[in-house]
Chain A
Amino acid sequence: MKSIFLAATLALAALSSAAQQKIIPAQSSIRFVTTQMNVPVEGAFHRFDATVSFDPKHPEATKAEFEVELGSIDLGTDEGDHEAKGKAWLNVAAFPKARFVASSVKSLGGDRYEASGALAIKGATQNVVAPFTLKEANGVRVVEGQFAVKRLQYKIGEGAWAATDTVADEVLVRFKFALPAK
């Protein structure tokens, strides 16, 4: 009797874990491009996590949550990283994580999809629409896309940095997430 119960519990656990997928960090990336004095400058966040339940046949049933550790920002220089974590920019001490919760995903035909949902950074929340492509190979699904964020809507870059002639308002976010296909 006890063993049947255990088997049932394990089966149930297996079922629910099949529906939820964790990203494969080594094959995933979150990069962004800011424009400084008309010059595109690339950066990245190295630590992030996501819980995704996504079935390409039923995109509308998608559940996805992404969390980015803002302290893992990499702008290529220590001076830049330090500044970006500071109060005027991301204020990592007070707001350590950015969070995106997909509220709907729809198919755009072929391997193209569009996710929309709430993106919360530095205490502000804005709706974001992110088109992406989905490619599957060797048991790995790769979701890749980009969307633009207006940094000033999140008060990223306050005070003197709010001027957009040195650092433009629009920041392009490029994401790539690898997920196990099954």
Chain B
Amino acid sequence: MTPAPTRYTPTAIALHWIVAALIIFNLCFGLYTVGLPLSPTKLRYFSFHKWIGVTILGLASARLLWRAFHPVPALPASMKPWELKAAHVSHALLYVLFFAAPLTGWLFSSAAGFQTVYLGLIPIPDLLHKNKEVAEVLRITHHWVDYALAAVIVVHAAAALKHHFIDRDDVLVRMLPRPKPKSP
């Protein structure tokens, strides 16, 4: 048996930070766009928001696939049992919400009668028929799933900072890109 790695692979690190940037941007962007008065800009922004969501869905799937084939670095032995438990639960929640956020958005969009056409080129099939009542339920669901995702991201980031600055372990650093070794 190969020993557990001490760092994430460059692929995992790249996927982590790209998905992080896209999710944080799309959460803020979605919230901003909802508040705009109806205009061509709003229609355009909603399309962009959906395209980014579809991208996140694809990249989150890639991350799950990566995890299926790679052992993840072990958590520090100094962590208390409740901390380990909290770490596992919050990571599981993150993954559930990575999928729940774009999927509820996709369903909402379908029920509202606005098909998602990725990048304006690739039509993504509507999962539901147009239905005003169903669309309203899904709109509210998408809204709360997104707030839940934002909340878990805040917890995740706070925990990473606590590991780095208070516990002074390598939990944050092993997910950071390694600086290029200086040539001798």
Give chain A's interface residues, CB within 8 Å of chain B: 36-42, 75-77, 79-80, 83, 160-161, 163, 165-167
Residue of A with least CB distance to B130? A76
Bound CA–CA A39/B44 (angstroms):
11
Mark each residue of chain B from 111 to 146: 1 if its CB lies under 8 Å from any CB of chain A, else 0. 011111100110100000010100100000000000
**Nearest Cβ in chain B — how far from A174, in angstroms?**
15
Most buried by A among B38, B120, B130: B38
Query: Given contacts A42-B130, A76-B130, A76-B135, are A160 and B113 in contact (CB under 8 A)?
Result: no
**Nearest Cβ in chain A — how far from B143, in angstroms?**
15
Residue of A with least CB distance to B39? A160
Query: Given contacts A160-B39, A166-B40, are A38 and B120 in contact (CB under 8 A)?
Result: yes
B39 neighbours in A (Cβ, 8 Å): 160-161
Residue contact B112 to A76, C-beta cutoff 8 Å: yes
Residue contact A166 to B38, C-beta cutoff 8 Å: no
B117 contact from A38, A77, A161, Cβ within 8 A: A38
A166 contact from B43, B115, B117, Cβ within 8 A: B43
Q: Say if the beta carbon of B9 comes within 8 Å of chain A.
A: no
Give chain B's interface residues, CB within 8 Å of chain A: 38-41, 43-44, 47, 112-117, 120-121, 123, 130, 132, 135
Residue contact A37 to B112, C-beta cutoff 8 Å: no
Bound CA–CA A125/B28 (angstroms):
45
Residue contact A39 to B40, C-beta cutoff 8 Å: no
How many A-B residue pairs have C-beta atoms within 8 angstroms? Tell me.
47
What are the nearest 7 A-B pairs in CB distance?
Answer: A166-B40, A76-B113, A38-B120, A37-B47, A83-B38, A39-B117, A166-B43
A161 neighbours in B (Cβ, 8 Å): 39-40
A160 neighbours in B (Cβ, 8 Å): 39-41
Bound CA–CA A6/B115 (angstroms):
61
Residue contact B130 to A163, C-beta cutoff 8 Å: no
Query: Given contacts A76-B135, A79-B38, are A37 and B113 in contact (CB under 8 A)?
Result: no
- Listed by A's residue number, 21 A-B pairs whose Cβ atoms lie within 8 Å are A37-B47, A37-B117, A38-B117, A38-B120, A39-B47, A39-B114, A39-B115, A39-B120, A39-B123, A42-B113, A76-B113, A76-B130, A77-B112, A77-B132, A79-B38, A83-B38, A160-B40, A165-B40, A166-B43, A167-B40, A167-B43
**Nearest Cβ in chain A — how far from B110, in angstroms?**
11
Bound CA–CA A9/B65 (angstroms):
83
Residue of A with least CB distance to B111? A76
B43 neighbours in A (Cβ, 8 Å): 36-37, 166-167
Bound CA–CA A39/B130 (angstroms):
14
B44 neighbours in A (Cβ, 8 Å): 37, 166
A42 neighbours in B (Cβ, 8 Å): 113, 130
Bound CA–CA A79/B33 (angstroms):
14
